Amino acid sequence: MNWEIYADPLFRLPFLAGFLIAGVLPVLGALLMLREEWLAALGLAHLAAAGTLLGLAVGAPAILGASLGALGGGAVKSLGGARGNTAYGFMILIGWSALLLAAANTSAGDALGQAVMDGQLYFAGWTELAAAVLLTGLAVTALPRLMPRLLRARFFPRHDTANRLPGWRWHLGFDLLAAFGVAVGTATLGVLGTFALILVPAWAAFRIAPGWAWTLGLAGLIGVVAYLAAFVLALGLDQPFGPALAAVCLALGGLIGALRRLAQGRGGA
């Protein structure tokens, strides 16, 4: 393994952008899992990927195309009142078909399409870092306000209607935040890495956390640890980043699941 590569200033911006995203996406994933909308990541990521490719075809930055694709999907889904994984299943189909059609009909589309799926973290620059900082700022600002309302709507679903409260506002707010997070993730880490960061840390945290604050903290921690390990492995072993990140997430998730089963076995014995 070439250790000198980690000191290369070329990788500082990509590292920082990915680090911020890896801390935020698992927290969004925990909320999506609580809403039983974990498929959101894949649906929105496909729309973001299609938006990226269509944007690049007309000369727009990747982050802009990704954001327009994912935010458009999130807004349509939220304003249309669609809840649950069915809406995201349709998004996957729409985004996938648009991605493949755009790849087939644009110059260098195939190569770009593959790059969006694999993740092109090492090419991230100031634009991606600025988007990651914006995402982190939005999450830190909006989630403390949205979270209590989203939790209440989840466990006491009649509350907003019964009190004539505009519940659609916080659902739309979260849908847009999740869509933006997935868009920034897709443009920076790729479809695969983004989906892995939303699904696996939240899944693992749901199994072992003793409470909600722990769930959010553990999900973020697992995401960051997986990201750091994937960064080291992918760069050192010259592997595509997205698949490496997904593999590390899965390994961590599997390890946590196995340890939990072991603990349960001892507790039951």
Fill in the amino acid letter for 56.
Answer: L
Whole-angstrom distance, CA of residue 150 vs CA of residue 157: 10
Minimum distance from residue 209 beta carbon to other proteins (Å): 5
Q: How far is the CB of 38 from other proteins (least distance, A)?
A: 11
Cβ(39)–Cβ(14) below 8 Å: no
The answer to whether residue 169 forms part of the interface with other proteins (CB under 8 A) is no
Q: How far is the CB of 212 from other proteins (least distance, A)?
A: 4
Q: Does 152 bind other proteins (CB under 8 A)?
A: yes
Which of 207, 233, 239, 257 is the binder for other proteins (CB under 8 A)?
Answer: 207
Tell me the Cα Rg of the chain: 19
Say how many residues touch other proteins, by CB under 8 A.
26
User: Which of the residues 20 through 49 are near other proteins (CB under 8 A)?
Assistant: 33-34, 36
Six token digits for residue 57: 């075809």
Q: Which is nearer to other proteins, 6 or 212 (CB)?
A: 212
Please, what is the minimum distance in Å from the beta carbon of residue 266 to other proteins?
17
Is 151 an interacting residue with respect to other proteins (CB under 8 A)? yes
8 binds other proteins (CB under 8 A): no
Give the one residue of 9, 80, 144, 210 binding other proteins; rule: CB under 8 A. Answer: 210
Judged by CB under 8 A, the residue of 155, 266, 267, 269 near other proteins is 155
Closest-CA residue to 179 (of 48, 30, 38, 34): 48
Which of residues 12, 145, 154, 169 is near other proteins by CB under 8 A?
154
Q: Of residues 148, 168, 262, 263, which one binds other proteins by CB under 8 A?
A: 148
Interacting residue with other proteins among 6, 123, 156, 168 (CB under 8 A): 156
The yes or no reply on residue 80 touching other proteins (CB under 8 A) is: no
CB nearer other proteins, residue 164 or residue 266: 164
| Contact between 123 and other proteins per CB under 8 A | no
For residue 158, state whether it binds other proteins (rule: CB under 8 A). yes
Per-residue three-class SS string for the chain: CCHHHHHCHHHHHHHHHHHHHHHHHHHHHHHHHHCCCCCHHHHHHHHHHHHHHHHHHCCCCHHHHHHHHHHHHHHHHHHCCCCCHHHHHHHHHHHHHHHHHHHHHCCCHHHHHHHHHHCCHHHCCHHHHHHHHHHHHHHHHHHHHHHHHHHHHHHCCCHHHHCCCCHHHHHHHHHHHHHHHHHHHHHHHHHHHHHHHHHHHHHHHHHHCCCHHHHHHHHHHHHHHHHHHHHHHHHHCCCCHHHHHHHHHHHHHHHHHHHHHHHHHHHHC
Q: Which of residues 177-206 bind other proteins (CB under 8 A)?
A: 205-206
Please give the residue ranges that form the binding site for other proteins (CB under 8 A).
Answer: 33-34, 36, 148, 151-152, 154-159, 161-164, 205-207, 209-215
